[in-house]
Structure 1
């Protein structure tokens, strides 16, 4: 059995700030994303975390200059373990094969902490043994590599339907973490829970960098929804991401729409959120 996630489901993870809210109560997200080779991933993930409603965003990666040029309100600095963190986002725009010993040590500390972590791209190989609550966000190719690392039957990138769902469920059970497999139909599985499907994103969403945007959205919703099931937070973030893409591309209500780039999706997040909380 699977559950199809809806707009109504998503609305429960968003709220209008109250008079007694401050920047901290709206959620503190820290991102260790991007690299010298891929600074854009840092910009996109940070932008999305802000646009999805975070009250306080810190950046602790290698692309601080690019991040500050786009979002000067971002607080820059690693400061691991000494400042409040409601959610981490790590790995987007990084390559495990080029990771230094110091960087690996920092990532392992994050994964051994208590704050929930969105684990993407170049950090997926470190997910085994993590004790922090984690949401892993592989695409099909990354899922296949992750399964091989775990000693599971090698996943096929072309797998679809029940086979792909079964692979995501098995991976989540093996790791004891939530796994969100990105695609035209996103599959979210948690250990011993019914898989969730999210399929509201338009075809225009299949463009470079949109996964980095999703990482930022996930971080924002994780930080703002402490205590709620991680798989449901992941589903809400995925649905919101798809809706923002529809808003950006003009493809809602049956319209064909038009091409977009990843930053368009991030920019459309406030409008998509406004629809849900109106």
Structure 2
């Protein structure tokens, strides 16, 4: 494979944003299943679902504790609660794998074994190896180190921080999934392919909850491109991951205007960001 990373740009991103056609409905536009958030961290679910809806998915089905479901519905009343047919799953944001209830373990297990594409974050990264469909995992440096601990003894946080593209690729090759490695520059890698870089995100993006927004953007893109993934996951999954990171960075840039932002600011500027890209 080529070792030269590709820099993702507007032209590349534009090809991976689904525009509704005449005759589309909420089901044909993609349905995203979401199992995120927890009683200590309900905001992760609210942010991810809000971002997914604003990225253009047809429907979101949310599965979670009643209190968290209530918070999600208060923000996004169009969300449907409970399990049903989906084109993709977003799981793990705002969760702690060490505090997983039997009910949550069953819900997550069913999701990763359903065979549809999965975006796996934070508190579900230990389930990457159980997935039966295409996967993109979204770790930061420490989470990638934990995921690789049983595969490569050289995988330390310092090593990953010193050479993120190498370790994103190493993670993809060892785990057999697409890796979106979060950082000042986002790196996307897929087994056997050259890494992709997404650069120029504003420093203000380093704030609580923005990773949850990124998960929602990526989940929506994956759900709206289920056919392309079924046909050629090796091309589609890294392209969608890079596009999500690009949209996330550009929405943050728009929201910031040179000043501080919050995660919800980024989510709210996604429609304008996408409109500018498509226009």
Structure 1 unaligned segments of length 5 or more: list them. Answer: 251-256
Trace 1:102-181 onto structure 2 (pairs within 5 A). Answer: 102-157=103-158, 159-160=160-161, 163-181=163-181
4+ runs deviating over 6 angstroms: none
Identify the residue that residue 253 of structure 1 maps to in structure 2: none
Matched, 1:242 2:252: no
Identify the residue that residue 232 of structure 2 maps to in structure 1: none
Cα distance in 1 for partners of 2:18, 2:239 equals 16
Trace 1:1-278 onto structure 2 (pairs within 5 A). Answer: 1-62=4-65, 63-77=68-82, 79=83, 83-157=84-158, 159-160=160-161, 163-226=163-226, 227-228=228-229, 229-250=236-257, 257-278=258-279
Shift of 1:56: 0.6
Decide whether the 8 Å contact of 1:115 with 1:132 is kept in 2: yes
- Aligned residue pairs: how many? 267
- CA separation of 1:176/1:14 partners in 2, compared to 1, >3 Å: closer, same or farther? same
Decide whether the 8 Å contact of 1:200 with 1:239 is kept in 2: no
Decide whether the 8 Å contact of 1:34 with 1:42 is kept in 2: yes
More deviation in 130-139 or 213-222?
A: 130-139
Cα distance in 2 for partners of 1:117, 1:262 equals 23
Cα distance in 1 for partners of 2:127, 2:154 equals 19
Residue 187 of structure 1 aligns to a residue whose secondary structure is strand
Which structure carries more helix by proportion?
A: 2
Decide whether the 8 Å contact of 1:244 with 1:272 is kept in 2: yes
Cα distance in 1 for partners of 2:194, 2:177 equals 14
Decide whether the 8 Å contact of 1:244 with 1:265 is kept in 2: yes
Task: Give CA deviations for 1:227-260 in whole Å, capped at 9, x if unaligned.
Answer: 241011100111001010011001xxxxxx0000
Cα distance in 2 for partners of 1:221, 1:151 equals 31
Structure 1 vs Structure 2 CA RMSD? 1.4
Shift of 1:170: 1.2
Shift of 1:204: 0.9
Shift of 1:3: 0.6
Structure 2 unaligned segments of length 5 or more: list them. Answer: 230-235
Identify the residue that residue 233 of structure 2 maps to in structure 1: none
Task: Give CA deviations for 1:113-136 in whole Å, capped at 9, x if unaligned.
Answer: 221000000000111242221100
Decide whether the 8 Å contact of 1:248 with 1:265 is kept in 2: yes
